[in-house]
Chain A
Amino acid sequence: MNELIPNLETDGLEPAKGLFRERWDILKRNRMAYASYWFLISMFGLAILGKVLTQTVVMFDPKVVRLSEKFLPPLTPFTSTLTPEEDSPALGVYLLGTDELGRDVFARMLEGTFVSLTVGFVAVGISLTVGIFIGGLAGFYGRVKLGFITVDTLLMRFVDIILCFPTFFLILTVVALLPPSIYNIMIVIGLTSWMGTARFVRAEFLSLRDQDFVVAARSQAIPEWRIIFIHMVPNAIAPVLVSATIGVATAILTESALSFLGFGVQPPDATWGNILADGKTFLFDAPWLTFIPGFTILFVVLAFNLCGEGLREAFNPKLRSTP
């Protein structure tokens, strides 16, 4: 027995690359997805940097109002004599211009980066949690009978009911009726987008629950919550995470659409969505107020979509173009 084990290793039975390593290499071959990935990473860095800078450094304070400095185009140097020196923007230049209250658009965009990405990620986090919970319940305890219907029927009919609501209309109803707050928006977007995840997880669980490793775990009397969360969820999670990438993109777009109707994140908090929605009033006088947030949203959402699609291809061998 002792002699066998080193033999196994020298026979090269270990996979040459781990699963994630292999998938990663496939992703790298898709140049657009790989570029988007790095773009997003730098965006996260920028978001955290922006959060720190806007909170601590006065030069980056997005809330400073300079009424004498309204509607300055991008790259205008700070020359005003009316505004106190300590209110001057970073580097003495309005990198992205100023808005209708003379606030530095660059500082607002920096702040908005953090808020927008947070809205996207928290909303998706909520939708994943609910989706995995409901889907896992329906998949794992699907055969358990409650009275005359099974758990699976009950939960999946519930999902069907929620799917029948027009999502954006539902979000609008709830957001308009609730007091406006950034948390409500994240929660509402999250709670109206979990249905896809639930269906996905259920389908994965249905195929997983009779597989040998689950049966083995059951035979060892491992508690059921451990089987579900430690043994089964990691096996079902990869495709779910891939669609979550695209979910973040959708959440950012939904937030900007809500902002457009006036129900988004409220001032003084800045998000890309509400900078864009505020800027549209001054489209002719100050086009940069529309174009800068508009194109930022476009690029970031595009990067999320391309990255998600690249991941999907990497994790689903059927979709790959070159084997």
Chain B
Amino acid sequence: MINFILRNIWQRIILLIFISIISHAIVHLAPGEPALVDPSNPRMKAEDIQRIRASFHLDEPLHIQYIYWVKDLASGELKSFKDNQPVVNKIWERFLNSLPLFLIGTMITWFLAFPVGIQAALNRDSIFDRSSTFFSYALISIPGFFLSYLCIIFVVKTFDVPVIGMQTFGLEEAPLLLRYMDRVWHLTIPALMSAIAGTAILSRYVRSQMLEVIHQDYIRTARAKGLPEDEVIYHHGLRNALLPFITMFGLTIPGLIGGSVIFETIFAWPGMGRLGYEAIMARDFPIILTLNFFSAILVLLGTLVSDILYAVADPRIKF
């Protein structure tokens, strides 16, 4: 077991190195660089651009720049091009903002998808099954920002609650309960919106997994033993259907960064996705690279965790 984990970690570290090299190459080879973001600024003189380029090591060859980046990242001294703040602190701050959004979104996804998927599988070809299938396709097909706009208008008009940003401006002095309620409103709508597509996809997976399991011999055996139907479904069926979802759970972790760009932009939520978006707009290479690196770490961590959990949960897997 220890061997298995160590080997997995080792492989992932090698992958990570390659990922960082490739992402470094993509970002630096693409046209457009930090000094050229604002070409019309009259105060930017040629020598200023030279000075900026020199201080960011942009004149060095690519591999030297890569080494600078790794060295600075390791020592925690990597600074953003834009405001000279330490990159790791900036990302950490945004990470703490993104985390509640991600957690609530994931919770909504998993708590909604499972009951719907199981119900649909148990009553195959019923009206519920057909309509949930249709609705999940419709929800996958609708552009996320379009739905979010409709939802914002609906909430603002019906409940008279603003939902943009992390809290309502000017409520800092309000009583605790009010502030708390305000926070819940601001958190729920974006979390719900970012959870919708995931819920639709996951419920389809749950349905097909349950359908596959329900026709297995051991379910027939359990029924033949005279077990109550609930026990057959939830104890014998669901437990076996759950296995592939260990993998899926690991794969949702990178959604912390990539999946949130749109929704954090719409809801003006100062999270990691928005940080990445702003960094791209400003050609802030250290932040883009480090965010990419973190998200690669998250992906690899997710797959590692799911591999280990899978091995723990399924006794058929040998090391």
Contact = CB atoms under 8 A, between A and B. Distances in A.
B76 to A, nearest CB: 23
B66 interface: no
Q: How large is the interface on B (under 10, 10 to 19, 20 to 34, 35 or more residues)?
A: 35 or more
Nearest to B144: A257
Contact of A166 (B15, B27, B149, B292): B292
A176 B142 CA distance: 24
Contacts of B18: 157, 161
A187 to B, nearest CB: 13
B30 A177 contact: yes
A166 B257 contact: yes
Interface string A164-204: 11111110111011110000000000000000000000000
A233 to B, nearest CB: 28
A56 to B, nearest CB: 31
B30 A173 contact: yes
B149 A290 contact: yes
28 contacts: A161-B15, A164-B299, A164-B300, A165-B23, A166-B299, A168-B259, A169-B261, A169-B273, A169-B291, A169-B295, A170-B26, A172-B280, A176-B281, A177-B30, A261-B265, A273-B143, A283-B149, A294-B142, A294-B146, A297-B141, A298-B142, A301-B142, A302-B138, A305-B137, A306-B137, A309-B137, A319-B208, A321-B124
B277 A261 contact: yes
Nearest to B197: A253
Interface in A135-164: 157, 160-161, 163-164
A298 B124 CA distance: 26
A157 B153 CA distance: 46
Interface residues of A, number: 43
A283 B26 contact: no
Interface string B2-17: 0000000000000100
Interface in B294-311: 295-296, 299-300
A173 B31 contact: no
Given A257-B262, A290-B149, A174 B15 contact: no
B167 to A, nearest CB: 24
Contacts of A304: 141
Contact of A257 (B134, B143, B295): B143
B288 interface: yes
Query: Which residue, B138, B146, B208, B295, has most C-beta atoms of chain A within 10 A?
Result: B146
A90 B140 CA distance: 35
A276 interface: yes
B86 interface: no
Given A176-B280, A178-B31, A261-B277, A168 B261 contact: yes
A166 B124 contact: no
A238 interface: no
Nearest to B261: A168
Given A161-B19, A178-B31, A32 B143 contact: no
A298 B138 contact: yes
Given A165-B23, A178-B31, A280-B149, A160 B138 contact: no
Contacts of A157: 15, 18
B139 to A, nearest CB: 10
B245 to A, nearest CB: 19
B283 interface: yes
A24 interface: no
A83 B124 CA distance: 59
Contacts of A277: 145
Nearest to A263: B280
A163 to B, nearest CB: 8
A294 B137 contact: no
B14 to A, nearest CB: 9
A306 B133 CA distance: 10
Given A178-B30, A256-B145, A319-B208, 20 more contacts: A157-B15, A161-B18, A161-B19, A164-B296, A165-B19, A166-B254, A169-B291, A173-B280, A173-B288, A177-B30, A177-B283, A257-B145, A260-B143, A260-B265, A280-B145, A294-B146, A301-B141, A302-B138, A305-B137, A321-B125
Contacts of A117: none
A197 B151 CA distance: 35
A249 interface: yes
Given A161-B18, A174-B26, A261-B265, A169 B143 contact: no
Nearest to A305: B137
Contacts of A178: 30-32
B174 to A, nearest CB: 28
B22 interface: yes
Nearest to B262: A257
A173 B299 contact: no
Contacts of B288: 173
B270 interface: no
B31 to A, nearest CB: 6
B176 to A, nearest CB: 34
Contacts of A298: 138, 141-143, 146
Nearest to B280: A176
Nearest to B27: A173
A302 B258 contact: no
Interface string A296-320: 0111011011100100000000010
Contacts of A174: 26, 30
Contact of B143 (A170, A173, A297): A297
A161 B299 CA distance: 10
B146 A276 contact: yes
Interface string B235-274: 0000000000000000000100111011001000000010
A51 B262 CA distance: 31
Interface string A205-222: 000000000000000000
